[in-house]
């Protein structure tokens, strides 16, 4: 019994400590996921190619469920349940690995190698500047990329990013479409048709054309019966500084109003029609030219511009301010001139033309012989003109310049020059139909200014203070002269012709302050400047 008790006591001694130890041992709990990462973080692959992605959880001992793989755009790339990515088409998508609400991503770029590029059409011809054509580039395989466009010569043709080709000038250009490492080309030929013909009228488009091309087109049009020529575009294509394509052609109308880019070769700020542009000579025949319309841009006609164009009847020049020497001399049929802005006419500018009226509202200066021998001129209306030729007072032999501005205009009857201060030598000599002349501002009257104006009866020069030799010689019908300037008046011995031959029939009117100059003490009679007059009266 005692032995059994001791055995139980020992057993309890062993069991109780063991029970106490089990109650204090710690229990393991689940670890929460804090993040997911995908390796690699980005990949690039070709269409049809596969690559493996791996998802890693953090922390590594976290309790995790199954990984779910997704692609944001399965048209570009797909992903399998084990993270295998397959490229489908060119582009970019995001592949996501998700575990227990946490996710990581990989940027997937799918590329596609260009196999070929084709352009349609492969060749094209454009026939006018500014004409366009749409080119189409086909890149294979489909979706492999977009083509970029370039031109080998943008002076001939340009191409837009969309493949639209625009003709610029004559020639050939290669248009190239590039995609990846592949290219394709289209040959563009620009052959500009510069002329449109309808009946006897042709319109020429000069922009982008060469002078040789223009010359040939004009010649061919003339051979086809064209007589009315209308031109537009760049003046350089006319080549007027090196020749004139209209020589030898019958031209009813030459309309240059649409031509631009005229040069200013003498740097005076005035774009010009070059010297001798249409000068008729034995080697340059412009006898067929009848009417010309110039552009507003042209402000100056250089020397001999239309010299001896014997059939020219009408000129319209809306912008011209200066007409230089001999510009229209011997244009014997020229009867209509429209130059509303002209302020200067050079020597012989309209000599021997058929003008009937000289009406230039802004004209200020006329050199010598401007209208000399204009036998049909009947009227002069120049309200702003101040200088009529070059005036000298005493004949000194040798040649004189600036003379005969209206000389030998045998039909001239009416003159309006309200601001003219200088009346040059021979200005109106031999104007045998001129009956009356009043020049309210004229102070200087040159040699022979009215010589042989046989119908002239009345002259009124209220401001004249200097009169040259032979101003009124051979004015046999003269009966009235008014010289009423207050200051001293200088005349020459022959101003009024041979002594007393003309003045004896003239009623002279002077300023009252000249009364003391008119009594001849010796002859006890009135005279003035050694001439006897029919009568002398005075005004204050």
List, for residues 223-271, the tens digit of each pLDDT value: 999 999 999 999 999 999 999 999 999 999 999 999 999 999 888 899 9
What's the confidence (pLDDT) of residue 204? 96
Residue 112 scores a pLDDT above 80: yes
Position 21 scores a pLDDT of 45
Please give the helix or strand (H or E) that residue 177 lies within, else none: strand 171-179
Where in the chain are the domains? 35-111, 116-190, 193-354, 372-391+401-539
Fold adopted by 372-391+401-539 = 3.80.10
Cα dist from 119 to 132, 183, 539, whole Å: 16, 9, 96
pLDDT on residue 65:
82
**DSSP letter assigned to residue 335:** -
Mean of pLDDT over the chain: 92
Count of C-beta atoms within a 10 Å radius of residue 266: 11
Q: Please spell the DSSP secondary structure of 183-224, one letter per residue.
A: EEEEEEEE----EEEETTEEEEE-TT--HHHHHHHHHHHHHT
pLDDT tens-digit map of 50-105: 999 999 999 988 887 889 999 999 999 999 999 999 999 889 999 999 998 899 99
Measured distance CA(221)–CA(9) in Å, rounded: 142
Maximum Cα–Cα distance for the chain, whole Å?
Answer: 207
Considering the four listed CATH numbers 3.80.10.10, 3.40.50.1440, 3.40.50.360, 3.40.47.10, the one that applies to the domain covering 193-354 is: 3.80.10.10
The arithmetic mean of pLDDT across residues 499-509, rounded, is 94
| CA nearest to 324, candidates 273, 255, 375 | 273
Least confident among 122-131, 154-163, 178-187, 327-336: 122-131
66: which 2 tokens? 């199954």
CATH 2.60.40.1080 describes domain 35-111: yes
Q: Token digits for 440?
A: 């309210």
Q: What pairs with residue 107 in β-bridges?
A: 42, 94
Beta-carbon contacts of residue 184 (< 8 Å; ≥ 6 apart): 116, 117, 118, 119, 137, 147, 176, 177
CA-to-CA distance for 389 and 365, rounded, in angstroms? 8
pLDDT per position as a tens digit, 186-221:
999 998 788 999 999 999 999 878 899 899 999 999
Asked if the domains 35-111 and 116-190 are classified in one and the same CATH topology, the answer is: yes
Q: What is the pTM of this model?
A: 0.70
pLDDT tens for 482-493 read: 999 999 999 999
**Averaged pLDDT for residues 512-533:** 85
Yes or no: say if 132 and 166 are a contact pair by the CB < 8 Å rule.
yes
Instruction: Compute how many other C-beta atoms are within 10 angstroms of the C-beta atom of residue 51.
Output: 18
Place of tokens 């454009």: 126
Mean pLDDT for 11-25 is 48
Asked if the model's pLDDT at residue 524 lies above 90, the reply is: no
Query: In this predicted model, what pLDDT tens digit does every residue of 410-433 receive, in sequence order?
Result: 999 999 999 999 999 999 999 999
With beta carbons less than 8 A apart as the criterion, state whether 437 and 458 touch.
yes
What is the CATH architecture assignment of 116-190? Sandwich (2.60)
Q: Evaluate if residue 528 carries a pLDDT over 50.
A: yes
pLDDT for res 25: 55
């Amino acid at each position: 019994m005692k032995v059994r008790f001791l055995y139980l006591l020992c057993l309890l001694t062993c069991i109780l400590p063991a029970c106490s130890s089990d109650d204090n041992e710690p229990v393991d709990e689940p670890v929460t996921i804090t993040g997911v990462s995908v390796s690699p973080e980005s990949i690039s692959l070709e269409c049809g190619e596969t690559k493996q992605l791996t998802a890693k959880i953090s922390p590594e001992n976290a309790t995790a469920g199954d990984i779910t793989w997704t692609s944001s755009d399965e048209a570009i790339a797909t992903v399998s349940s084990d993270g295998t990515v397959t490229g489908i088409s060119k582009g970019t998508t995001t592949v996501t690995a998700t575990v227990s609400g946490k996710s990581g991503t990989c940027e997937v770029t799918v590329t596609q190698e260009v196999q070929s590029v084709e352009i349609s059409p492969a060749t094209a011809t454009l026939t006018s500047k500014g004409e366009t054509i749409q080119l189409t580039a086909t890149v294979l395989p489909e979706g492999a990329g977009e083509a970029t466009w370039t031109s080998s010569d943008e002076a001939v043709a340009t191409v837009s990013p969309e493949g639209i080709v625009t003709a610029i000038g004559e020639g050939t250009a290669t248009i190239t479409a590039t995609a990846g490492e592949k290219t394709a080309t289209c040959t563009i030929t620009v052959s500009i048709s510069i002329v449109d013909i309808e009946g006897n009228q042709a319109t020429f488009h000069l922009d982008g054309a060469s002078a040789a091309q223009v010359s040939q087109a004009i010649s061919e049009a003339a051979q086809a019966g064209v007589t009315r020529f209308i031109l537009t575009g760049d003046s350089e294509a006319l080549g007027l500084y090196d020749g004139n394509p209209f020589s030898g052609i019958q031209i009813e109308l030459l309309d240059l109003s649409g031509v631009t880019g005229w040069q200013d070769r003498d740097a005076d700020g005035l774009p010009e029609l070059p010297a001798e542009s249409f000068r008729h000579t034995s080697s340059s025949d412009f006898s067929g030219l009848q009417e010309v319309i110039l552009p507003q841009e042209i402000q100056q006609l250089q020397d001999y511009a239309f010299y001896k164009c014997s059939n020219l009847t009408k000129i319209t020049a809306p912008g011209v301010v200066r007409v230089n020497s001999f510009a229209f001399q011997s244009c014997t049929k020229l009867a209509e001139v429209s130059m509303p802005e002209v302020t200067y006419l050079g020597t012989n500018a309209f000599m021997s033309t058929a003008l009937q009226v000289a009406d230039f509202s802004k004209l200020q200066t006329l050199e010598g012989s401007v209208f000399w021998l204009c036998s049909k001129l009947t009227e002069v209306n120049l309200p702003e003109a101040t200088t009529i030729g070059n005036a000298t007072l005493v004949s000194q032999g040798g040649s004189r310049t600036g003379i005969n501005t209206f000389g030998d205009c045998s039909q001239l009857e009416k003159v309006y020059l309200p601001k003219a201060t200088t009346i040059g030598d021979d200005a109106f000599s031999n104007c045998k139909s001129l009956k009356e002349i009043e020049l309210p501002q004229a102070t200087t009257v040159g040699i022979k200014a009215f010589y042989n104006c046989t119908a002239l009866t009345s002259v009124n020069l209220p401001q004249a203070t200097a009169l040259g030799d032979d101003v009124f010689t051979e004015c046999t019908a003269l009966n009235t002269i008014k010289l009423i300037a207050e200051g001293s008046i200088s005349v020459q011995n022959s101003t009024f012709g041979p002594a007393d031959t003309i003045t004896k029939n003239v009623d002279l009117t002077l300023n009252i302050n000249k009364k003391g100059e008119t009594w001849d003490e010796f002859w006890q009679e009135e005279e003035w400047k050694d001439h006897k007059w029919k009568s002398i009266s005075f005004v204050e």
